Structures are given as structure tokens and as C-alpha cells.
């Protein structure tokens, strides 16, 4: 069987073909295309028209080469949404979660509904770009007026709508909104009412793996596309990535490593209590209504933005070169706190990292390798910090940490993470998100029996890399210095 996964990230999109045969799956990255937000009238937006054109081109090429294609499905980042008018047409380009319209919005939100009540309703971590705060910004005039809105669709759901004509809210994406109740598996009227957003704009909730129908005739694929079904996987990319963790049993935590690092564990039911709230954990829905109990960490965005800044200066580096230069740099140098809010917004990342070092009485890293090493070591120590909070919230200790996604290919970061946490790190597969997307499509067609079967296919199909911890005493001292930075900033 053949499945086409559109894995659409905040930096780029890919079309990945998955071929499943006898409990093994092979992936072919069929096409790549950039995803760069554009600044319009002072606001950052996603260029969905250009993005969908690239998707259509990739789908047409896939059908020409693979006329036996069975299904297609999309996954994207969370929280952002497309706004439709009453005729189902897009109203402007969707806002990017890094846009400033939600700056300071959480204080206004908590004046309407206390944060403790919001967390009890949703179990969702507090981030200023969550959909509920974007909705409040729209209520306050930053966006189309609700009276003009016929519906909203999260990003992958919007692309599924363009492909199939059917509107849904796939539950893994819905759970990033902070107005979805994972215990009741329903929207929270209380939060929507408090923030002035009408329930009528939301589509019906849908589980992962649901078949939405065939390709819309208006797309013009004709007979070539007639047999292809649109299947919504976990439409949230982290849901797909967690589904493809090649683990056995439940004694593991995981990082989905990319632009963001999502560190957490898979649970069978929500974990919503005061300690989880205060430690900053979210309850997001995954395949089979499992819960991804996790926390967001800024991730490889630090290095991606440095690379973009250097390229603008005429200095081009690919990621393997940056990793090599970092490996050659001196270890145990200056550190930054990845939680520092200055790092969230795009632009000038090398300067921001250097400033953060100087402001904490450390020398600024000198040279490209030293700066990237600073980012990697800081991330590894942040992983240790958040893993400790995870274990505190759940009252247990995990034996190993799986790392999936693009960041799993970075052998330096893999070793630094094992050293920092003092436990083995199992890295791979790199294409976990697209892999989970394809296999959840297959599960929707009954070609994959259950989660255990899905993960067995992953283990059968991909080579994994294991990192053992080293230099425990040095890393304990390094972590103590890192914690001091966080305490001084009030973020420990």
C-alpha cells in the first residue's frame, strides 16, 4: 500500500511517500518546499496559497509516478488557524503564531477567566500564541470580526478541506487550542464564551485516522486521483512523531526534536492537577486518544535563526557543517536559558545569544562553532531540567529518552543530551513525523492493527542510534551553573 504524507512545518514542507509491505515501511521524500511567513501591514502571516500550490504540484507528480497511491494526509504545527467567510472562502492569510498581536494578551485573558480555571478545563500549557489567545485577540479587534466568520480550521485541517471539501477539527490539533477539554473530549464553552468566540465557527471534532472522502473534483486530478482517499492522520505534527516512537512498553520519555523540542511521555488519560499546571505541562491528544503529556522547549530554532542571519550576511552553512564546527569548539563554555522570551521572535539570533551571555556575566561565544555549541549545550541542559519536571509531575523515573525527528540526526546533540541527563538516548527515526503520518493513514485503512503493531513496523524499518552518558561529574557542575542562570531570571 502507498500513502502520501504532507509534513508541513514552520520552516519547510515535504511530501513523503510511504510504501508499506509485510510489516516494513520505506519512505521517499518526494518533494520539499519552503514555508516562510510574510510580513504584511506589520503582522506575520502564512502564505497558504503558495504552500497549497506546492502541495498540488507534489501530489500531481506523485500520482504520475505512483498511480496506485491509496491515501493522502497532512500534518502541521499547532495553534494557528485559517479563517473562512460564510461561503467557505479564506479571509486573508492566517496569522503566524510568532506575530505580535498576542503580546501581553494572557494578562487580559486571565482577567476574564483565571488561569487555574483555564487549566482545569483544558490541561493545556500557557503559551501566548495558543489559539484561545489568538481568538481573544480577534475579539479585541486584531483580525476579522466574528460576525464575518463562517468557520475556522486549524492549518492541516484547512489543507484537508482544500483536498477533500470536508471540514473537521482533528482532535490532536484541536487539543493545542486551549479550549478543548481532553477529559470530556469536547470544546469548552466556558472558555469560548469568556473570550468572546462563538462555538458556531468550530467544525465537528474528528479522531485521528478518519477517512474524509476522495480528492475534490475541483482540484482537477481526474481519473488519476479518483481512487485516492484523504485520511486525516494526527493532524498535529507532534502527534504523528510520538506515534512513531520505536519504543516497547511504557518506560520511556521522548523528545520530538525540530524547530521546537517537545519533551514528554505518552499517557492513557489526561494528567490535570495543580502541580502539572505549575510545572508547565500540557495534555495534548494523540493517536487512539492517548495523551501526550509534554512541555514545549524552543529547540533547534536557535540554530535555524543563526543560520538564517549568517546567510543574510553572505555566509552560508549547512546543518552538518554547523554541527562539525560546534563539535570542534571548546566544551563547557557559556550558556543561555532557552526559556528566555527574547529567543521566540525571529531575527538577530546571534546577537541575542551573545547579549544573553554578557548579561549573565559570561563571555560571548567567539565564532560560529562556539555560538552553536552554546546553543546545543544549553538545549541539552534544558532537556535535563524539563525531564526532571516531567518525572516530578508524574511521580516516576524514566529509564531512557527517545529522540525522534530531524534533530535525531545530530550526533553531537544526541551525545550532549545523554551526558546532560545521565541516561541513554535512543535517536531515530529522523522522519518520525512523516512516518507517523503514513502509518496512521494505514491504521485508518485497517492495514495497521494498533499502536503496538505500528511501533513494531517502525523498529523493523529503521536503524536507531544509542548514546550512553559520559563525564557525569562535569555535567553535574555544568547543570548547576545552568540552574543558577535560570534562578537569576526567575525561570527555574
Q: Is the dihedral of CA 222, 224, 229, 231 positive or negative?
A: negative
- d(Cα 214, Cα 355) in Å, to the nearest integer? 53
CB-count exposure of residue 11 (10 Å: 0-12, 13-18, 19+): middle
Contact between 182 and 285 under an 8 Å Cβ cutoff? The reply is yes
Q: Residue holding cell 502527534?
A: 239
Taking the C-alpha atoms of residue 403 and residue 389, their distance in angstroms, rounded to an integer, is 18
CA gap 52, 130 in Å, rounded: 24
The H-or-E segment that residue 332 falls in is none
- Burial class of residue 324, CB neighbours in 10 A (0-12, 13-18, 19+): middle
Helix (H) or strand (E) holding 479: helix 472-489
Crossing angle of the two packed helices 411-421 and 472-489, in degrees rounded to 10 = 90
Q: Which of 63, 38, 64 is nearest to 49 (CA)?
A: 38
The DSSP secondary structure of 397-455, one letter per residue, reads --SEEEEESGGGG-HHHHHHHHHHHTS-EEE--TTHHHHHHHHHHHHHTTSS-SHHHHH
Q: Please name which of 254, 236, 259 lies closest in space to residue 73, comparing C-alpha atoms.
A: 236
Active site residues: 237
Q: Cβ distance 66 to 2 under 8 Å?
A: yes
According to DSSP, the residues that pair with 153 across neighbouring strands are: 82
CA 213 to chain centre: 26
CB-CB contact of 423 with 254 (8 Å): no
Which grid cell is 36? 516562510
Cis before residue 429, ω within 30 degrees of 0? Answer: yes
Q: What span, in angstroms and rounded, lies between the C-alpha atoms of 234 and 287? A: 6
Q: Cα–chain-centroid distance for residue 470?
A: 29
Q: CA–CA separation, 142 vs 25, rounded Å? A: 45
Amino acid at each position: 500500500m502507498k500513502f502520501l504524507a504532507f509534513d508541513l512545518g514552520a520552516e519547510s514542507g515535504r511530501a513523503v511517500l510511504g510504501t508499506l509491505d509485510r510489516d516494513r515501511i520505506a519512505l521517499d521524500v518526494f518533494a520539499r518546499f519552503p514555508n516562510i511567513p510574510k510580513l504584511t501591514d506589520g503582522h506575520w502571516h502564512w502564505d497558504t496559497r503558495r504552500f497549497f500550490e506546492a502541495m498540488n504540484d507534489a501530489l500531481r507528480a506523485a500520482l504520475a509516478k505512483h498511480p496506485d497511491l491509496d491515501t493522502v494526509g497532512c500534518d502541521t504545527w499547532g495553534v494557528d488557524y485559517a479563517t473562512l467567510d460564510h461561503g467557505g472562502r479564506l479571509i486573508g492569510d492566517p496569522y503566524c503564531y510568532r506575530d505580535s498581536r498576542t503580546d501581553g494578551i494572557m494578562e487580559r485573558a486571565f482577567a476574564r477567566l483565571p488561569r487555574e480555571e483555564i487549566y482545569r478545563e483544558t490541561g493545556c500549557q500557557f503559551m501566548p500564541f495558543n489559539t484561545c489567545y489568538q481568538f481573544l485577540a480577534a475579539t479585541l479587534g486584531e483580525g476579522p470580526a466574528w460576525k464575518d466568520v463562517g468557520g475556522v480550521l486549524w492549518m492541516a485541517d484547512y489543507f484537508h478541506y482544500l483536498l477533500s471539501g470536508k471540514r473537521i477539527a482533528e482532535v490532536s490539533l484541536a487539543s493545542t487550542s486551549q479550549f478543548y477539554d481532553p477529559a470530556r473530549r469536547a470544546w469548552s464553552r466556558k472558555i469560548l464564551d469568556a473570550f468572546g468566540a462563538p462555538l458556531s465557527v468550530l467544525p465537528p471534532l474528528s479522531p485521528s485516522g478518519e477517512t474524509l472522502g476522495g480528492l475534490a473534483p475541483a482540484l482537477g486530478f481526474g481519473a488519476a486521483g479518483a481512487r485516492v482517499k484523504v485520511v486525516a492522520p494526527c493532524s498535529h505534527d507532534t502527534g504523528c512523531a510520538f506515534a512513531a516512537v520505536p519504543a516497547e512498553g511504557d518506560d520511556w520519555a521522548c523528545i520530538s526534536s525540530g524547530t521546537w523540542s517537545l519533551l514528554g511521555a505518552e499517557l492513557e488519560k489526561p494528567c490535570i492537577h495543580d502541580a502539572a499546571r505549575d510545572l508547565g505541562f500540557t495534555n495534548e491528544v494523540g493517536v487512539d486518544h492517548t495523551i501526550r503529556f509534554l512541555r514545549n522547549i524552543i529547540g533547534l530554532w536557535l540554530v535555524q535563526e543563526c543560520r538564517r542571519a549568517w546567510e543574510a550576511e553572505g555566509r552560508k552553512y549547512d546543518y552538518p557543517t554547523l554541527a562539525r564546527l560546534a563539535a570542534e569548539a571548546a566544551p563547557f563554555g557559556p550558556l543561555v536559558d532557552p526559556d528566555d522570551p527574547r529567543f521566540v521572535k525571529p531575527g538577530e539570533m546571534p546577537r541575542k545569544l551573545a547579549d544573553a551571555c554578557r548579561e549573565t556575566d559570561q563571555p560571548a561565544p567567539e565564532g560560529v562553532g562556539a555560538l552553536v555549541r552554546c546553543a546545543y549545550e544549553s538545549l541539552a541542559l534544558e532537556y535535563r531540567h524539563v525531564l526532571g519536571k516531567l518525572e516530578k509531575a508524574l511521580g516516576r523515573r524514566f529509564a531512557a529518552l527517545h529522540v525522534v525527528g530531524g534533530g535525531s540526526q545530530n550526533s553531537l546533540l544526541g551525545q550532549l543530551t545523554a551526558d546532560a541527563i545521565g541516561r541513554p538516548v535512543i535517536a531515530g527515526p529522523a522522519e518520525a513525523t512523516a512516518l507517523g503520518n503514513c502509518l496512521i493513514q494505514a491504521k485508518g485503512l485497517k492495514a495497521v492493527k494498533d499502536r503496538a503493531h505500528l511501533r513494531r513496523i517502525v523498529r523493523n524499518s529503521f536503524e536507531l542510534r544509542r548514546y550512553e552518558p559520559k563525564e557525569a561529574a562535569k555535567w553535574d557542575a555544568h547543570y548547576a551553573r545552568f540552574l543558577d542562570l535560570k534562578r537569576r531570571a526567575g525561570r527555574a
